[in-house]
Amino acid sequence: MKFLLDTHVLLWASGFPERLSEDARALIEAPGTDPVFSAASLWEVAIKNGLGRADFEVDPRVLHRELLANGYAEPLPPRLRLVESQPEERYVTCVPLVSLKAAAGAFSDPQYVDDEDFTWAAVETGRRLRPGMFVAQVVGRSMEPAIPDGAYCLFAAPVEGTRQGKTVLVQMRGAADPESGERYTVKRYESEKVAEEDSWQHTRITLTPVNPEFEPIVLTGTDQGTL
């Protein structure tokens, strides 16, 4: 029997099993039980790890390796299913499938997107779909294990609320991602800013990968005009 563990239980089961109740530990360790974890849990760990908190030093890549080594299963992502969409189904059960390059341009202002130009993909998600959402394939290892190389991800434009700490699709006009050489990249957004008269001015923007093998992209001062 398979059990999908939430992030809290997963961290305790993998590193602090004594914190689990006897019933929970017995269930996870019982013969015939297959504990399962999801990429969403790894992403939560990556976000908390990136905040630099002294009380949370869990490396998502190390956690990923140890879970697999100890018999935890990682479900394979469902295959992408293309559909012939009807107008009433769009952004209800399906969204456009586009390349990152096309998405960075077309969805910079979603109200001007022409739905007739797209291929549509069915999406199964707990989120409510809305215009401005799309699916794109992320190629590269810089966001592993949270986003595996070649994964199809659901994006939403425009970004609602603060960008701080969110994973974003970025278009760089005068620079390129060192990993791919492309002007489009998916990274975690972090910024530092100061008050200047009646507005805020960014002093530093950092586009951070999850995979520590890759360096962050740091923009300061006039470099920010490249985004």
Domain annotation covers residue 74: no
**Span 115-169, pLDDT tens digits:** 677 889 998 887 899 988 888 888 888 998 888 888 888 898 887 788 888 888 8
Per-residue confidence at 182, pLDDT binned at 50, 70, 90? confident
The residue ranges of DSSP E strands in 99-148, in sequence order, are 119-122, 133-138
- On whether both 63 and 174 belong to a single domain, the answer is no
Number of domains in the chain: 2
**Alpha carbon distances (Å) from 206 to 100, 111, 167, 217:** 20, 28, 12, 6
- On whether both 192 and 93 belong to a single domain, the answer is yes
- What is the CATH classification number for the domain harbouring 91? 2.10.109.10
- On whether both 106 and 61 belong to a single domain, the answer is no
- On whether both 178 and 85 belong to a single domain, the answer is yes
- On whether both 94 and 206 belong to a single domain, the answer is yes
Domain that holds residue 7: 2-69
- On whether both 89 and 200 belong to a single domain, the answer is yes
**Span 185-211, pLDDT tens digits:** 899 998 887 777 777 777 888 999 988
| Domain closes at, from 69, 93, 113 | 69
Contact call for residues 44 and 63 (beta carbons, < 8 A):
no
Contact call for residues 150 and 111 (beta carbons, < 8 A):
no
